[in-house]
Structure 1
Amino acid sequence: MRAMVYRGPYRVRVEEKAPPRIEHPNDAIVRVQLAAICGSDLHLYHGLMPDTRVGHTFGHEFIGVVEEVGPSVRNLSVGDRVMVPFNIFCGSCWYCARGLYANCHNVNANATAVGGIYGYSHTTGGYDGGQAELVRVPFADVGPSLIPEWMSDEDAVLLTDAVATGYFGAQLGDIKEGDVVVVFGAGPVGLVAAQSSWLMGAGRVIVIDHLEYRLAKAREMAHAETYNFVEHDDVVVLLKRITDHLGADVAIDAVGAEADGNLLQHVTAAKLKLQGGSPVALNWAIDSVRKGGTVSVMGAYGPIFSAVKFGDAMNKGLTLNMNQAHVKRQWPRLFEHVRNGYIKPSDMVTHRVPLEHIAEAYHMFSSKLDGCIKPLVTFDA
C-alpha cells in the first residue's frame, strides 16, 4: 500500500509499505477514504516528541470503509463506512468502564498515563496511523462508529479529534452561564473550543493568537472577540484590563506543545510566543483567570522541563482540569450539534491535498503558508 512515512525531523514522504494484517480476532482493516493532518502531528514532524521512529506512519484523524474483520468482530461488517476516534481503547478496563477512553489501561505498554493513539510516537503504543491507504483498527467492536448517512465525510473526519477535543476543552472549563472565557490558540481545536463555549452558556468569548488569518477565522466561525498578542506588551495585562481587572472566569489552553521553534527554545521556554514544550500559553492561562477561576488544558503536551506556575495556581485557588479528549464519549452530543447546524466542522478546512503530495502539505501547515488552518488528505477513489 501507499503510506506516509517518517524519515526524520522535517522529512516525510510517501512510500510503498506492507499492508496491515489482522493480528488479533477483534481487529479490523479499514481502507482510508479521508484523513487529516493535526497540529499535534507537527510535534512529530519537528522531532520534538520522544521515540518517534523512522518508518512510522502518522495520522490519528481518519475515516474509511471496513475491508476486513477479525473472527470475533460483531459490530462491524465489510463495507461499513466508519469514523475512528484517535483513542485506541479496550472498552472493558477500569478506565473505559467510566468513559475515560484516553486513559485505557490495556493498549499502551509504554506509559502509565495516556492510552493508545493512532500514528503517534511509540510512547503512545506505536500504532501506525491513517495517513495511508489501509490501517489496522484494534478493538474494532468498541472504537469505530458507523458514519450517519446525513453526515458529510469532512465533518466526520474532523469529529475523530479536532472537534471532539475542542468541545472537551470547553467541558473541562466547567463554564457557567454568563462566564467570560478566554481561549489561547486559534487553530482548529481552539476554534471549536470557542464555538462550544457559547453552547455551554458563556457570556463573552475571547480568542488569543498571533496569526491574523486564524484570528479572522475565530471571528467568522466562533463569533469571538480576538486579540493578536504580538501587538501588546503583555497579554495578561491586556486581559485583566478588558475584564474589569479581575481576569476571565475560564481560560482554555488550546495550544499545548505546538511544534514551532527548536528544541532548545522549547526546553528553556525562551521563545515567548504561543509555542509549546515550553508552557507559555499555560502560564498565561494561569495568570489571566480571576482568583477562583478554572483553567482547562487539552493541548497536547509532551515532556516539559521549564516551570509551570503551579504555586500561583494554588495561591489563586484555581481549578485545573486536563486530559486527552475521550473522543467517543463526546460523539452523541456532537452528532446532534452538527445535525442541528450549531457546529459545522468543515468550515475550518482550508486545504485538500492528495496523499502523494503529503510532504508539501506538512511543509505548508508547519510553516503557516497560504492561510492553512486545517489540511485534509484525500485518496483516489
Structure 2
Amino acid sequence: MKAVCWNGKYDVRVETVPDPRLINPRDAIIKVTTTAICGSDLHLYDGIIPTMMPGDILGHEFMGEVVEVGAGVKNLQKGDRVVVPFAIACGNCFFCQRKQFSLCDNSNPNSAMTAKVYGDSPSGLFGYSHMMGGYDGGQAEYVRVPYADVGPLKIPDGVPDEKVVFLTDIFPTGYMAAENAAIEEGDTVAIWGCGPVGQFAIRSALMLGAAKVIAIDREPARLQMAERASPNVETVNFESHYSVEEILDRTGGRGADSCIDCVGTEAFGHGPGAILDYVKQLARLQSDRPNVLRQAMTACRKGGTISIPGVYGGIIDSINFGAAFNKGLTFKMGQTHVHRYLEPLMQRIQNGEIDPSFVITHHARLDEAPEMYKTFRNQKSECIKVVMKPG
C-alpha cells in the first residue's frame, strides 16, 4: 500500500509499504477514505518531537471503512464506516474507566521510554513517534486499529466524510479545551492560535456560553475565519498589537475569565523573551517556546482558568509561576480524551449546530502529501486545513 512516511526533518515521502495485518483479536483493519494533516504533525515535520525513525507512517486524523476485524471485535463488521480517535485506549484500565482515555495505562508498549522523559506515560498515539507507541498512522491506504472494540465510532449513511473526520481529533480537542476553561455564561475567553484547533475552540467556547471570545493570531485568513464564527468574536493581530494589552483594554483591565493556549511548543512572538525562546530551542537548551503561555498567565484575570490543548514536548523555563500562584490561576491541560466526546459531538453535527467542514481550505490526493506538508507549514494564512484522499 501507499503511505506517507517520515524520513527526517522537512522530509516526508509517499512510499510503498507492507499492508497492515491483524495482530491481536481486538484489532481491526480500516481502509482509509479520508485523512488529514494536523498542526501537531508539523512538530514532527519540523523535527521537534524525538524518537521518530525513518519510514514511520504519519497521521492521526483518519476515517474509513472496516475491511477486517479480529475475533474479539463484536461491535464492528466489514463495511462499517468509522472515525477513529487519535489516542489509543484499552477501555479497561484505571484511567479508561474514569473516561480519561488519553491516559490509558495499556496502549503504549513503549511506556518505559516515555516515563524516562515525563515520569509517566500517556496512551499510545497513531503516527506520533516511538515514545508514544510507535504505531503506524492513518495517512495511508490502510491502517491497523488496536482496541477496535473501544475506539471507533460508526458513522450513519449519508453523512459525508468531511463533516465527521475531525471527530478524530481537532473538534474534540477544541471542545475539551473550552470545557477545561470552566466557562460560565457571559464570560470573556481569550484564545491564542486560530489554526484548526483554535477555530473549534472558538466555536466551542460560544456553545458553552461565552459572551465574548478574543482570538489572537497573525494570519489574516485565520483571523477572518474566526470572525465569521459569530459577531461575539473579536480578533487581535499580534504583529500590530500586543496581545496582553489588548485583552486588558477590552476587559476593563481585569483580564479574560479564561485563556486557551492552542499554540504550544512552537509559539511565535516579539520581544526579548520570544527571541530567547527561539534561540534556546534551536540550541536544544529547551524543548518548547512558551511565549503564549507567558502571555496567557499575564492576561488571565485573578482566579481565572488557563486551558492548554497546544502540544508541549518537554522542558520550558522563564515562566513566572509565582504570578500564577498569587493570581490563584487554575491550569488544565493534556491530550484529548476523544472517546468521551465522540457521541455528544456527533449529535451536535446531526442537529445542525455545527458543520466541521468549514475549516477545510485544501483538498488533495494522498500522493500530494509532501507538497501539502510544505504548504501547510509555509502558507498558514492560505492553508488552514488539508484533507487527503487515498487512491
For normalisation by structure 1, the TM-score amounts to 0.94
Aligned: 1:377 with 2:388:
yes
Q: Deviations over 1:35-63 (max 9, x none)?
A: 00000000000100011111101100000
Aligned position for 1:41 = 41
Partner of 1:9: 9
Equivalent residue, structure 1, for 2:167? 159
Alpha-carbon separation, structure 1, partners of 2:156 and 2:278: 41
Within 5 Å, which residues of 2 pair with 1:275-290? Answer: 277-290=288-301
Match of 1:214 among 222, 226, 230: 222
Q: Is the 8 A contact 1:43 1:49 kept in 2?
A: yes
User: Is contact 1:268–1:306 with CA below 8 Å preserved after alignment?
Assistant: no
Counterparts in 2 of 1:332 and 1:190: CA distance versus 1, 3 Å: same
Corresponding residue for 1:23? 23
Q: Equivalent residue for 2:253?
A: 245
Aligned with 2:213 (options 201, 205, 211): 205
Corresponding letter in the other structure for 1:335: M
Tell me the residue number matched to 2:58: 58
Aligned equivalent of 2:145: 137
* Contact 2:219 2:381 survives alignment (8 Å): no
Q: Is the 8 A contact 2:290 2:316 kept in 1?
A: no
2:228, 2:255 → 1: CA distance? 25
SS at match of 2:364: strand
Q: CA RMSD in A?
A: 1.9
Percent of counterpart pairs with the same letter?
A: 46
SS of alignment partner, residue 230 of structure 1: coil
Separation in 2, partners of 1:128, 1:165 = 21
| 1:340 is the counterpart of 2:348 | no
* Conserved? CA contact 2:22–2:144, under 8 Å: yes
Is residue 115 of structure 1 aligned with residue 127 of structure 2? no
Q: Separation in 2 of the partners of 1:48 and 1:106? A: 26
Match of 2:117 in 1: none
The alpha-carbon deviation at position 282 of structure 1 amounts to: 1.1
The verdict on how the C-alpha distance between 1:6 and 1:279 changes in structure 2, with shifts beyond 3 A counting, is same
Shift of 1:116: 0.9
1:77 and 2:77 are equivalent in the alignment? yes
Q: Tell me by how many angstroms 1:296 deviates.
A: 0.5
User: 1:332: Cα distance to partner?
Assistant: 2.1
Is there any run of 5+ residues in structure 2 with no aligned partner, and where? 115-119, 270-274
Letter in 2 for 1:342: E
Instruction: Kindly indicate whether the alpha-carbon contact (under 8 Å) linking 2:82 and 2:154 is maintained by their aligned counterparts in 1.
Output: yes
1:302 to 313, 320, 325: 313
Please say if 1:175 is aligned against 2:197: no
Number of aligned positions between the proteins: 374
SS at match of 1:376: strand
The answer for the alignment partner of 1:226 in structure 2 is 235
Matched to 2:280, the amino acid is T
Q: Mean Cα displacement is larger for which, 67-76 or 177-186?
A: 67-76
SS in 2 for 1:95: helix
Aligned with 1:147 (options 149, 155, 158): 155
CA distance in 1, matches of 2:5, 2:230: 35
Q: In structure 1, what is the Cα distance between the partners aligned to 2:211 and 2:122?
A: 34
What amino acid is aligned across from residue 67 of structure 2 in structure 1?
E
Matched-pair contact (CA < 8 Å) for 1:355–1:378: yes
